[in-house]
Structure 1
């Protein structure tokens, strides 16, 4: 871990290893959700639970919308969302790892199912924007295989 002022962060290697461990747990414990192609929100929630175990000193939140101020807003987002949105096209990152009530933002994570018909371009723009505008140290795109692709995952760390 690295100290930035009083803010302790984790290296890219550490974050990637912990994310890989959480994804392995998801694949082992929630294979039914993957083969049944459960909603992206369901998969994000389960992955978030395993990430919380991997990052016990951090808060892991799903579609967190209780920002402490303008630091966690992004000027890029124009997507309109609705409560019935089962494709999870909201302007919030799917998962964030942060310290609530502070400006300490470790990672913004976008989760996408392999069957997503929108492609990954918009999700990547969203997390890159959160990294740039909100001070997240890591921006990560996770593609989770569902249905016939269950068990396959791809992880991309954004520059």
Structure 2
């Protein structure tokens, strides 16, 4: 997992180096998400990188009945991860990323619930790794999810890698 997270950190460092305009003009999360996805594509050859992708092969990405995890649609069924690194046709799910701006004062529970569900090995669409990412103008905060829970060891390791990349941890 550290290999994939190292690729993620490299893409994040490139994103911050090249996209300062986005932060200076206080552009929205979707713009940040798209530009980060562009950087991620370069580091994950053989994988597709998509934003707001709600499919698993031919099926719509939906939560199982009775799930307490919140969703993104008015019917309360579909979920749209901000960024995914996957292979669409197989399907093979590597990395799900939920992005928030540091200035977003909405409670983070919705994104955190999605990452728990997206990485839960007991659900049929499990991603190997989930990353909760809070992007500030000069700081990055993150948590890593594996197996449906926050992985404290990987979260600490990733925070160190982000700090080593000169991105600061707020």
TM-score tier after normalising by the smaller chain length: 0.7 to 0.9
The answer as to whether partners of 1:112 and 1:143 remain within 8 angstroms in 2 is yes
Distance 1:30 1:100 in 2: 28
Q: 1:155 aligns with which of 142, 152, 156?
A: 142
The answer as to whether partners of 2:96 and 2:115 remain within 8 angstroms in 1 is yes
Displacement of 1:70 in angstroms is: 4.7
Distance 1:45 1:158 in 2: 21
SS at match of 1:61: strand
Displacement of 1:95 in angstroms is: 0.3
Distance 1:95 1:144 in 2: 14
Normalising by structure 2, report the TM-score.
Answer: 0.73
Displacement of 1:74 in angstroms is: 2.1
Q: How many residue pairs align between the two structures?
A: 136
Displacement of 1:57 in angstroms is: 1.3
Alignment of 1:23-102 (within 5 A): 23-70=12-59, 72-75=61-64, 76-80=69-73, 91-102=79-90
Displacement of 1:135 in angstroms is: 1.7
- What is residue 84 of structure 1 aligned with on the other side? none
- What is residue 138 of structure 1 aligned with on the other side? 129
Displacement of 1:73 in angstroms is: 2.4
Q: RCO (CA 8 Å, sep 6+): is it higher in 1 or 2?
A: 1
Aligned-CA RMSD value: 1.9
Distance 1:130 1:103 in 2: 14
Distance 1:20 1:78 in 2: 28
Distance 1:47 1:156 in 2: 17
Gaps in structure 1 of 5+ consecutive residues: 1-11, 82-89
